[in-house]
A and B are shown apart, each in its own frame.
Chain A
Amino acid sequence: MQWFDALIQGILLGGMYAQYALGMALMFGVMRIVNVSHGDLVILLSLIGISLASAWGLGPFTVMVALVPLAVAMGWLLQKGILNRVVGDDPLPSLIATFGLSLALQNLMLQIWSANSRSLPGGGIESQSVQIGGIYIGLLPVIVLAFATGLTWGLDLMLKRTRFGRALRAASADVEAASMTGINARAVYASATAIAVGILGFAAVFQSLRSTVAPADGGAQLIYAFEAVIIGGMGSVWGAFIGSMVLGISQAIGFRIDPGFGVLAGHIVFLLVLATRPQGLFGKA
């Protein structure tokens, strides 16, 4: 029973990780842009959300309505202002540029919000749960998982079925050939990054509801997102979702073995996947 409970809690935790991983699946998995500031953007959005909530007494879902468009705008600016200048076959320039951005964002956040941990008041939903057959299932984690599933479904459909999705996949496969087919790759990339960061608007609200956030926390979210995408396989949106589940379940089981072992267990499973199936669970060899 204890292990079954760990499995359930792991899947729910995976829902949270999936929300970080989706944007990463789009940027790293599809566009092959390494965005080191991914985690810091989640934290920045969380802190903005917390400040909005305390300034105007907004509920978490009202904050979400404000935060997602803001995140979309931030993503668009990130691509237009920085990433479009450094994209190309070489991943190093985007890595260095966003590493610099990451450091700048962390220090900016320290300056504005100090190093204190904060969280978003949820009006009670963060502590509600239902008991099913001896297992307590939190309401908030279920909502998180539901949002993650919906976002994954929507993103996957967008990539496969829409004009924009096809243009993005084409530009990711061969930028020059895409331009020879009439695609304005920079405009497509700007929209794609806007979507990727926009998803972080959802993640930011849930992250600050379920735990506390502080300016230096971004690194952990970044690693989880990278690991989920790589476990799942580059270029696969559902792969990133499953990768997040694998990571969540590994951590939850690790926590049951020893409270200090949880996070490490996730990293070990990631390394095992990398060693035995480097293309990821859903990736093509």
Chain B
Amino acid sequence: MTAALSTHGLVARYGDFQALYGVDIDVAEGEAVALIGANGAGKSTFLRSIMGLLPVTPDMVRLDGKPIGGTPTDRMVQNGVAIVPEGRRLFTGMSVDDNLRVAVDQADRFGRKGGWSLERLHRLFPILKDKARTQVQNLSGGQQQMVSIGRALLSQPRVLLCDEISLGLAPKVIREIYAALPEIRAQGTAIIMVEQDVGLAQSASDRLFCMLEGRVTLTGASATITREQIAAAYFGGSHAVV
């Protein structure tokens, strides 16, 4: 399988503070990989670097082998990489429908074709149809997350980055949202998910990457990786707990 998106020695810094020290992660078409790690490990920074929100060199991020690192964020979306950002980042003061239409508009503008339409999204998350006219700030957290995922899907991405989509949601809602992932992947869309819940990350992904202090400390098939391996990689070797 060739990688849809891959990073090569990705380095990122905020001013003098270096956050990532050469991260190599790849995801194939239709594959889901999970990125776990403690707070401050650099998971969100990694996703933001891919999206062109932090300066990186072209060779550090490749889409279908073509170097695209550091491309402005809006053009990254046109290239087929979309993100469900941390904290959802919906357009406050606009209705659910308008939030989603913004993504449809931009996909139309660049003639991006894909399998996603408002109708299909309404089948995936029926509540979005009922709440179409509601302003997004009046939705529950789970509904907001569905809008955020929907907005990203309507960009017709080939690679979808999900930044902690379960954060702050009730277990029932989390199950509902994660139940949508297989349909997204069936489309051929590759998913890189950052997830706090290790169990959830393991069950929803094909492969797992664990990060610690800006480096990847563990890589493997999600189904075969053990809790002990994860604990060691998560906290660093010397702090391993069994």
Contacts and interface: CB of A to CB of B under 8 A. Distances in A.
Given A166-B98, A166-B105, A182-B155, A176 B110 contact: no
A183 B103 CA distance: 9
Interface residues of A, number: 19
Given A180-B83, A182-B155, A174 B89 contact: yes
Given A166-B105, A182-B106, A183-B106, A177 B74 contact: no
B106 A179 contact: no
B77 A182 contact: yes
B83 A167 contact: no
Contacts of B53: 176
A178 interface: yes
B109 interface: yes
A228 interface: no
A174 B92 contact: yes
Which of B85, B102, B110 has the most chain A CB within a 10 Å cutoff? B102
B85 A177 contact: yes
A180 B94 contact: no
B91 A177 contact: yes
Given A177-B85, A178-B91, A181-B155, A167 B105 contact: yes
A169 B98 contact: yes
A180 B98 CA distance: 16
Interface size class of B (residues with CB under 8 A): 20 to 34
A182 B103 contact: yes
Interface string A166-200: 11011001101111111111000000000000000
A94 to B, nearest CB: 20
A232 interface: no
Contacts of A180: 51, 73, 77, 82-83, 85, 89, 152
A252 B155 CA distance: 52
B155 A169 contact: no
Interface in B105-123: 105-110
A235 interface: yes
Contacts of B237: none
Nearest to B82: A180
B151 interface: yes
Nearest to B107: A182
Given A163-B105, A163-B108, A166-B105, A184 B74 contact: yes
Interface in B127-155: 151-152, 155
A257 to B, nearest CB: 39
Given A181-B106, A182-B110, A173 B92 contact: yes
A170 B72 contact: no
Interface in B178-225: none
A167 B101 CA distance: 9
B145 to A, nearest CB: 14
B78 interface: yes
B44 to A, nearest CB: 13
A284 B83 CA distance: 30
B9 interface: no
27 contacts: A163-B108, A166-B94, A166-B98, A166-B102, A166-B105, A167-B106, A169-B91, A169-B94, A170-B94, A173-B91, A174-B89, A174-B90, A177-B90, A177-B91, A178-B91, A179-B73, A179-B77, A180-B77, A180-B83, A180-B152, A181-B102, A181-B103, A182-B77, A182-B107, A182-B110, A183-B102, A185-B74
